[in-house]
Amino acid sequence: MVGRALPRHSSELTWRDYLALLASRNTTLEEVWQGRLGQARLFPAPTGRHALWAFLEQAPLKPGDEVLLAAYNFHPVVQILVQRGLIPVFVDIEPQTLTLDPDDLPARVSRRSRMVLVTHMFGHPADLTRIGAFCREHGLLLFEDCAHAPGTLHQGAQVGSFGDGALFSFGVYKILNSLGGGMLALSGADADRFAVPGFAARPGLGSRLETLARLVFSVGSTPGMYGLTLHPFLRFCENLLPKLARTLDPSDNDPEYRFDPAGRAPFRPFMAEMLRRQLARLESNVARRRAAAEGIRSCLGQKAESLWLQPDRHGLANASYLGVRLPDAVEGARRCRERGVGCREREYLDCSRLPQFAAWAANCPESTRAEKEILRLPSYPSLSPSDQERVADAVLRALSR
């Protein structure tokens, strides 16, 4: 049975959260995060990418220095390293968590290595204990990509506080959604010497329209609205306006992508207020997402156990992204969508094989496999037991034909 279309992501914002748009209170991010990130200094940024850019601008790094990072990654992150004259050195991932494999670090480190960039992919905590020890042993900076990871814990503590710096992202597809926005967290010894990053603000009207578009998108991706609004609109664009569809729902690789530090609206006070509200319920959000993922898993039963990753291998995952392994994620996604189940294949790619990074190509077989096999399924709190059954049913059908 194909019921109403299920989005792959829902922000779980309430009308009260949207009212925060009217707030102009200047709250500091330290007040908003209330010690969740230890003593870290927190800086607002237009996006997570800007936070990384700002860190690299002031970190003790020079062109030609090598940065070790997982090959299975968000390609704009690699592009930012390249634009700053740094050399990306690709490391393979652990198949169970999709995060950087510490066992592969010794083979990739060199005299020119200066930093490890670790991504808590899908909100799965990476093995920060071993990666941190490796960085200390080799005198490397550690930067954490926490775009997916608010509420993700390692040794009981929020990730993002273990490295010298960390980026967070609050875009419309993220577990904390402030209609855009990002944050740089600095915990390293040099944090106090770091100047507040100044981001060029985009002129008013453009940035207000951007915020409006994200607002419409966030409302349209709530389960009650999705089937009536965003779903038909995205299908229409896919068929008739593929370029617009790609802008709304960026996918696959874009070898032409260049990061533009001045290209986004600045972080605004209402974003801090939206974050404060969502952080107050982050733990219950995570618990409900984990329960939704567990519900799908139990509907799938024993015969599908091999599909599952081990998100909690190095701590507690926030279930912000639910990934399963299918023989062919592209075909699996097509079949799930036929059943009205929103999902996403090839959301992250093996960057060690992308044409724009060919100069730094590497052999990372688990990253290649993840690109081919990982399918992201819905796992938001409002996914009812019958929705969970529908997701499981779509996955079983994707496997059975």
Ligand X SMILES: Cc1ncc(COP(=O)(O)O)c(C=O)c1O
Determine the Cα–Cα distance for residues 165 and 73; give it in Å rounded to an integer: 18
Tell me the residue number closest to ligand X, measured at CB.
48
Point out which residues pair with 158 in neighbouring strands.
153
Q: Which is nearer to ligand X, 49 or 353 (CB)?
A: 49
Q: Which is nearer to ligand X, 245 or 398 (CB)?
A: 245
Q: Nearest approach, Cβ of 139 to ligand X (angstroms)?
A: 25
DSSP-based three-state secondary structure for 328: coil
Q: Which is nearer to ligand X, 325 or 376 (CB)?
A: 376
Residue 293, token pair as written in the block: 């993922």
Determine the Cα–Cα distance for residues 353 and 341; give it in Å rounded to an integer: 30
DSSP-based three-state secondary structure for 368: helix
Q: Which residues of 245-263 are buried (b: 16+ CB within 10 A; e: fewer)?
A: beeeeeeeeeeeeebebee
Q: Nearest approach, Cβ of 182 to ligand X (angstroms)?
A: 4
Q: Which is nearer to ligand X, 319 or 392 (CB)?
A: 319
| DSSP 8-state code for residue 123 | G
Residues that bind ligand X (CB under 6 A): 47-49, 74, 77, 119, 145, 147-148, 169, 171, 182
Q: Which residues of 177-195 are buried (b: 16+ CB within 10 A; e: fewer)?
A: bbbbbbbbbbbbeeeeebe
DSSP-based three-state secondary structure for 345: strand
Q: Nearest approach, Cβ of 168 to ligand X (angstroms)?
A: 8
DSSP-based three-state secondary structure for 264: coil
Q: Which is nearer to ligand X, 151 or 182 (CB)?
A: 182
Q: Nearest approach, Cβ of 393 to ligand X (angstroms)?
A: 28
Q: Which is nearer to ligand X, 247 or 384 (CB)?
A: 247
Q: Which is nearer to ligand X, 183 or 392 (CB)?
A: 183
Q: Nearest approach, Cβ of 357 to ligand X (angstroms)?
A: 16
Determine the Cα–Cα distance for residues 45 and 389; give it in Å rounded to an integer: 39
Sign of CA dihedral 7, 9, 14, 19: negative
DSSP E strand boundaries for 136-235: 141-145, 153-154, 157-158, 165-169, 182-186
Q: Which is nearer to ligand X, 10 or 388 (CB)?
A: 10
Q: Nearest approach, Cβ of 354 to ligand X (angstroms)?
A: 15
The H-or-E segment that residue 323 falls in is strand 322-325
HSE (side-chain half, CA atoms, 13 Å) at 105? 25
Q: Nearest approach, Cβ of 350 to ligand X (angstroms)?
A: 14
Q: Which is nearer to ligand X, 169 or 211 (CB)?
A: 169
Cα–Cα nearest to 180, from 199, 154, 157, 153? 199
Q: Which amino acid is at 313?
A: R
| DSSP 8-state code for residue 66 | E
Q: Nearest approach, Cβ of 174 to ligand X (angstroms)?
A: 7
Q: Nearest approach, Cβ of 183 to ligand X (angstroms)?
A: 9
Residue 169, token pair as written in the block: 């992202």
